[in-house]
Amino acid sequence: MSTDNALIKSFFSKMHINDFENIFKKIDNLINSQNSDLWLIGGQIRDYYFNYPSDDIDLATDCDINLIYNSLTNNQLFDSNMQYFSKFHTLSIKGKINKFDIAQLRNESFKNNSIVPIINFDKSILNDLRRRDFTINTLAINLNNIHKPELIDPYNGLKDIRNKVLRVLHPNSYINDPTRIFRAARYSARYNLSISNKEIYLINLGIDKIHLLTKQQVDKEIKLINNEKNSMESYALLKEWGYR
């Protein structure tokens, strides 16, 4: 069995049967009915290769998320467990065990040193992966082709996972989105990743932009760090990088 097939098998085996039947299959059927693709991306693929347990499922599609949301509303199963973020075309659905986060493929650009992205919805998985934070989160598999799965890895994320290296995709990454500094500390502590001097230099450039984040954004990142087993290691890294 190839690694890609093993990954897909692991993906379905870890999904709770109720969540598979009542949530995943409904989403998958909706997307298929629109002749669109559904991608498994980022977190669960990363955690598969790190052998790290995860019940959260990150999905991406070229289907209009608004259409999916409207199709699932007025359904008692979804109404109380579903959050729709219309501005970003993302949908979060909480199942019995699993949590599904579905995002519409997009590309992002930044203007005049703003940390608020200009969003354009897209049909290309490669363009969508280009906007992501770390190389270890840029892996994707098309779930509409599970009998012949192919791991999409445009930024050598699998190599960085195997070498346990944390690396952003471009030099302005931490400047464009300073929340990535908190995630860098969280992932580094969780997976025991090494961070190069070049990466630390880029982090230091972004530290000066943290004040542009809202209190809610910072509080969310701090809460995620506090939920980690190695939270003290994360805080030690943040302090080392100059965050107070």
Over residues 67-115, the pLDDT tens digits come to: 999 888 877 667 678 889 888 899 999 988 889 999 999 987 777 666 7
Q: At what angle do helices 179-191 and 215-226 cross, to 10 degrees?
A: 0
Residue 147: predicted pLDDT: 65
The C-alpha angle with vertex 109 and arms to 62 and 92, in degrees rounded to 5, equals: 45
Q: In the CATH scheme, what is the homologous superfamily, with its name and number, of domain 1-163?
A: Beta Polymerase, domain 2 (3.30.460.10)
Q: What residues does CATH 3.30.460.10 cover in the chain?
A: 1-163
Radius of gyration, CA atoms only, the chain: 18
What is the location of CATH 1.10.110.30 in the chain? 164-244
d(CA 187, CA 123): 29
Q: What is the pLDDT of residue 1?
A: 42
Q: What is the pLDDT of residue 40?
A: 93
CATH code assigned to 164-244: 1.10.110.30
Q: Which two tokens stand for residue 148?
A: 């012949």
Helix, strand or coil for residue 108? strand
Strand partners, 118: 109
Residue 191, pLDDT above cutoff 90: yes
Q: What is the pTM of this model?
A: 0.89
Going by pLDDT thresholds of 50, 70 and 90, the confidence category of residue 133 is very high
% of the chain surpassing 90 pLDDT:
61
Half-sphere exposure at residue 223, Cβ-oriented, CA atoms within 13 angstroms: 6
CB distance 169 to 154 below 8 Å: no
Weakest-pLDDT range from 41-45, 108-112, 164-168, 226-230 = 108-112
CA 186 vs CA 34, 143, 190, 191: distances in Å: 37, 29, 6, 9
Q: What is the rounded average pLDDT of the residues 173-177?
A: 93
User: Nearest CA to 44 among 121, 151, 171, 178?
Assistant: 151
CA distances from 169 to 28, 71, 133, 134, 224 (A): 30, 35, 7, 6, 22
In order, the DSSP letters of 17-82 are HHHIIIIIHHHHHHHHHTT--EEEETHHHHHHHHT----EEEEEESS-HHHHHHHHTT-HHHHTTE
Q: How far apart are CA 19 and CA 17, in angstroms?
A: 5
CA 35 – CA 136 distance, rounded (Å)? 29
